[in-house]
Structure 1
C-alpha cells in the first residue's frame, strides 16, 4: 500500500520542475490529490520517501550518466577507457552536456519533492513532534540537493517554496552565498529534530548525525573552519559511530548501513525497496520495482587493444580506470589499495587481473569485491556510502588545522584513519604532530585521496582547495593529457544546461561557457 501511495504521490509532485522528462507526464492514479492525501502520519511516511527516491536517479544508469560521468570523471583519480576524447574527463565541457543536465534536473526534482512536504506539513493532522520530524527529513534532503548544486554551479536558482505555476519556475541565479545560507539553516533544523538512528524498513533514512556531519562539511567548504570543527567533533564524540576493523568492509554489500556509515543511498532489487524508484519501472519495463546502481558495469574492465577481461561488455564496459597518479599516491604496501584498485595479478571475478585490460594498468575495485551479479548490468544493489566516519575524521582534521591551528589534533585524527588501515603501524607509520601546519595539510590531502578514492569527493576537494589558495590546480594536479592541457578556471564550475537557459530567460550562464 505504501508503494502504491508513493507512486501516485510522486506523479502528482512532478507537475512543475526543471528538465523533467516527457515520460513523467502521467495522469494521476485514482482520486489521490493534495487535498485528500497530506493529512496523516501514514500519508507523510509515504510522501517523505519521494526525495529519497530521487537520489537513486544519480546512480542507476549503466552508461554512467549522473554521478559517475558527472562527478567522478572530472577528478584526477579516473581516466576514461577509450583512446578517443571523453568530454567530461578531458575538460571539454559544453552547455549541451547530458550528464551535467541530468545532475541538475534531478537535483531540482528532489528539491521540489522536499518542498511539497514542507508545504503540506503545517496543515497535517499530526502532533508537533511528528511534524518536526518530517520537516527535518525534507530539509536534510533539500540541503543535500542544494549543496550539490552550489558546488557544481555556484549560484543556481533558489526555490525554497513549492512552485505550482510556470511563472513561478522562472527563477534566475541566486545571489552569492544565498543557497548555502539556506543549506546551513536547513541542516541546523535537521540535526536538532531528526532521530539518532532508525530500524526496520526505515533503516537508511537521514539521522541527526548525518545532518550534523553534512553541516560540518558545508562549513568546511565555505572556509568556516572553526564552525566546521565544532560540528564534526560533535559527530565524532557522540559515540554513535565507530570505524570498522577493516577498511574494505565498508564497501561490502553484506555490511551495508554499518556502524561507520552515517548516510547511504539504499539500492535493492524488487518491490521491497522502500525508496521505490518511482521515475522508472513502468509497466513492461525490465526494471520494474528495481533500484540498482550501474557502478559494476562502469567500473569493471572490458577490452583494451583487443585484450578482453572476463565478462567484457556484458558485465563491464571498462569506462573508468585508475590514473597513474592515484596509483602512485598509495604508500608502498598500503593495505587499502587492494580494496580500491585492481592491479596485475589481483583476484578478479574468478580469474587474475591482467594490467593489459586497462589503459592505465588498473581499474577500480572499490564496491566490487563481493559484487552480486544479476541479470541486468545496472542491477547492482550495493549501497552508495555517502558519508562515513573516516571522512568525518579527515574533515575534522582539516578543520582543526585550518580553523584552530591545532596540528596535534589534526595528527590524532589522521592517525586514527591510518591505524585502522594498518593497526601495526609497520607500513603506515603514524604522522608526527611535530611538523609545520603546511606539512600536516599535505598529509591530510594525501589521506583523503587514498582513503576516499572513487567515492565522489575528489574533484570537489580539488576545487575548494584551489579556491582557498591551498593548491594551484594547473601546477599541482596531474589529470593526464589532454586534461592538463584543457583545464582552466572555467571548470571550477559546470555550465548551466542549455535547455534551462532556453526555458528560464533570467538564468545567466557561468563565465567561460
Structure 2
C-alpha cells in the first residue's frame, strides 16, 4: 500500500522547530484540549507534519535522559564496557554500572520519565488525528506510525523494568494506573506492531528523503525482537523471515560502511534517529556523541570499552569488527587517516583506554559548529539475520539458523562451522550477536533474557562473586589500563544479585506520584 498523504522531508519538518529544537515546536501545539486539537488537526498536511515531528521523541530530549541510559544500562552495566570516566564519575552513574543502584537513582528515573513523556505525546497525537477531518486511509497511516513509536517506548520500558503501567490515552492527574504484567505489555507491543505491519507501506514505497519513517519492515523487525524477548521462537522466526524475504534491506558489503559519518538510512538501516548540523534553522543534532569519546578527541570520556570485549574479538580472529567497533590507544582509527594513533587520554582519566568507533566522527568531517549529525542506529538488517538465526536455533532448525548466521559472518571474512547443532549453535549465535552489535545498546538485555542449559539467566554466570566477568577482571586480566586505574573498581559486577538485578528498580518518585498504585520490583527499597 503506497502512502497517499503528502510527504514532507525531515528537513522541511525541522524548519518548523524553532530555537530549542522540537520541544518548542510541540510545546506550542498542545494536544490536551479539544479547542487546540480543532485548531491544528484540520488537514492531511497538518497531521503529516505532526507525525513527522513525533520521530524526534524516540530520543526524547538531550543526551542524558535517553541516549545516556541506552549506554549506561545496555553497555556499561554489561561485560562490554565500563563507566570509563574515572575523574568525573559520580555516584548516580557508578551505582548503575556496578549494581549498587537503589530506587532513588536519578538516571534510572530520568529514562522512565522520558519514555512516558514520549508515550504521552504519541497518545495525544493519535487522539488528535483520530478526530481530524481527513480521509480514513491517511488517518490509518499516521496513527500506525505513532503506534510504532509508542511500541518502541513500551519495549524499552518492559525490558528495563518488567511490567509497567499501560497508558493509551490522556488521563486527568487524579488517575493512577497500576502496573500491568510483563506479558500484558508484550501483548500490547505485539498487537500494535502486527497492526502497523498490515497498514504501513514498505520502505521502497517511500521517497528517499522519507525513509526515516516507520515502514512495514520496521514494524516487523521490532515485532521479531519483541517475540524474541517473549521467547516466542516460532513467531520471532516468522517475523524476521518476512523482513529477510521482503528484499527492502540487505547487508552493506563492508562492515565499516555502516559507521561512516554520512551513512544515513542506507540499505542495512531499518530504523535510526535523524540528526543534522544546522544551527540556523536550529535542527536536532547528536549531542550524545561527544560524551562517548576520549578527552583528546573533545569528548567527555564516558563509557570506555572493556578489554574483555576486545579479547572476544581476538579470540574469534575478528579483526574487521574489532577495528570498526573499538578505538584503541596508540593504534590507528579505522577510516580516519588523520588519526594514525588514537589518543585515549591519560590513564588517570579513563578506565580502559578504549572507546566506541561506531560513534566516532573522522577529523575531516567534524562540523565547525560542533553540532554532530551522526545518526543513531536503532534497528538494522544484521540484527534481523541474527534474530532469525537465534529463533531457529532455539527450535533446533540448524540449517535455517546457520544460513542466516553465515551471512553475517561472511561479511567480515569469518568461516562458519556448518555442522553446529543444539547448544553449540545457540552459543555461536549468541557470541556473534555480541561481536556484531557491541555498543549499540543491547548487550545487557541479551544477557538478561538468554537462558543457559539449566534454564537460568545467562547474566547470573557473568556477574556476581563467581561471575566470569568478575573473575576475569580480578584474577585473569593483564590489561595495564584497567589494572592501573582502580578509581573505578576492578571487581565491577561483584554486587550483582539475581534476585533483584534482572530488572531495574521502579523510581521511588513514580511510586509516590501514583499514590501506591505502582508497586516496586522485588528486593528494592
**TM-score (norm. length: structure 1):** 0.84
2:514 paired with 1:501: no
The residue that corresponds to 2:7 in the other structure is none
Moved more, 6-15 or 227-236: 6-15
2:225 paired with 1:225: no
Could you tell me which of 133, 143, 167 is aligned with 1:135?
A: 143
2:123 paired with 1:115: yes
2:426 paired with 1:417: no
8 Å Cα contact 2:65-2:107 kept in structure 1:
no
The residue that corresponds to 1:282 in the other structure is none
Give 1:351 shift.
4.7
8 Å Cα contact 1:248-1:339 kept in structure 2:
yes
Residue pairs, 1:267-346, within 5 angstroms:
267-270=275-278, 289-302=282-295, 310-311=296-297, 315-330=298-313, 331-346=316-331
Could you tell me which of 445, 451, 462 is aligned with 2:436?
A: 451
The residue that corresponds to 1:465 in the other structure is 450
Is the alpha carbon distance of 1:471 and 1:508 closer, same or farther for their aligned partners in structure 2, counting shifts above 3 Å? closer
2:414 paired with 1:408: no
**5+ unaligned residues in a row in structure 1: which ranges?**
17-27, 273-287, 303-309, 423-427
Give 1:90 shift.
0.9
2:348 paired with 1:363: no
Is the alpha carbon distance of 1:259 and 1:151 closer, same or farther for their aligned partners in structure 2, counting shifts above 3 Å? same
2:68 paired with 1:77: no
Could you tell me which of 44, 50, 60 is aligned with 2:47?
A: 44
Give 1:205 shift.
1.0
SS of match in other structure, 2:159: helix
Could you tell me which of 183, 186, 210 is aligned with 2:189?
A: 183
Give 1:63 shift.
11
8 Å Cα contact 1:62-1:295 kept in structure 2:
no
CA RMSD of aligned residues (A): 2.7
8 Å Cα contact 1:155-1:177 kept in structure 2:
yes
8 Å Cα contact 1:187-1:214 kept in structure 2:
yes
**5+ unaligned residues in a row in structure 2: which ranges?**
1-11, 463-467, 474-489
The residue that corresponds to 1:66 in the other structure is 69
The residue that corresponds to 1:214 in the other structure is 222
Give 1:359 shift.
2.6
Could you tell me which of 339, 345, 348 is aligned with 1:350?
A: 339
The residue that corresponds to 2:420 in the other structure is 435
8 Å Cα contact 1:474-1:484 kept in structure 2:
no
In structure 2, distance between residues paired with 1:63 and 1:195: 28
In structure 2, distance between residues paired with 1:108 and 1:154: 15
8 Å Cα contact 1:50-1:113 kept in structure 2:
no
In structure 2, distance between residues paired with 1:135 and 1:57: 19
In structure 2, distance between residues paired with 1:63 and 1:238: 31
**TM-score (norm. length: structure 2):** 0.82
Residue pairs, 1:18-57, within 5 angstroms:
33-57=36-60
Please list the CA deviations of residues 470-502 of structure 1 after superposition, one character each: whole Å capped at 9, or x if unmatched.
653232451554332111121211111222122
Give 1:384 shift.
0.7
SS of match in other structure, 1:33: helix
Moved more, 75-84 or 495-504: 75-84
Give 1:354 shift.
5.1
In structure 2, distance between residues paired with 1:115 and 1:126: 18
SS of match in other structure, 2:450: helix
Give 1:345 shift.
3.5
Could you tell me which of 162, 167, 172 is aligned with 2:174?
A: 167
8 Å Cα contact 1:50-1:110 kept in structure 2:
no
In structure 2, distance between residues paired with 1:209 and 1:345: 41
Please list the CA deviations of residues 228-281 of structure 1 after superposition, one character each: whole Å capped at 9, or x if unmatched.
100000100111111101001112122211001100111112378xxxxxxxxx
Could you tell me which of 251, 254, 274 is aligned with 1:266?
A: 274
8 Å Cα contact 1:70-1:103 kept in structure 2:
no
In structure 2, distance between residues paired with 1:111 and 1:226: 29
Is the alpha carbon distance of 1:57 and 1:373 closer, same or farther for their aligned partners in structure 2, counting shifts above 3 Å? farther
Residue pairs, 1:475-490, within 5 angstroms:
475-476=461-462, 477-478=468-469, 480=473, 481-489=490-498, 490=500
SS of match in other structure, 2:108: helix
In structure 1, distance between residues paired with 2:456 and 2:501: 17
Please list the CA deviations of residues 281-322 of structure 1 after superposition, one character each: whole Å capped at 9, or x if unmatched.
xxxxxxx824222343222123xxxxxxx34xxx11211211
The residue that corresponds to 2:522 in the other structure is 511
Count of residue correspondences: 465
8 Å Cα contact 2:85-2:300 kept in structure 1:
no
Is the alpha carbon distance of 1:196 and 1:271 closer, same or farther for their aligned partners in structure 2, counting shifts above 3 Å? farther
Give 1:82 shift.
4.2
In structure 1, distance between residues paired with 2:189 and 2:437: 24
SS of match in other structure, 1:463: helix
Moved more, 351-360 or 321-330: 351-360
Moved more, 444-453 or 350-359: 350-359
8 Å Cα contact 2:68-2:288 kept in structure 1:
no
In structure 2, distance between residues paired with 1:141 and 1:462: 25
In structure 2, distance between residues paired with 1:252 and 1:465: 31
Give 1:442 shift.
0.9
In structure 1, distance between residues paired with 2:164 and 2:43: 34
Is the alpha carbon distance of 1:323 and 1:389 closer, same or farther for their aligned partners in structure 2, counting shifts above 3 Å? same
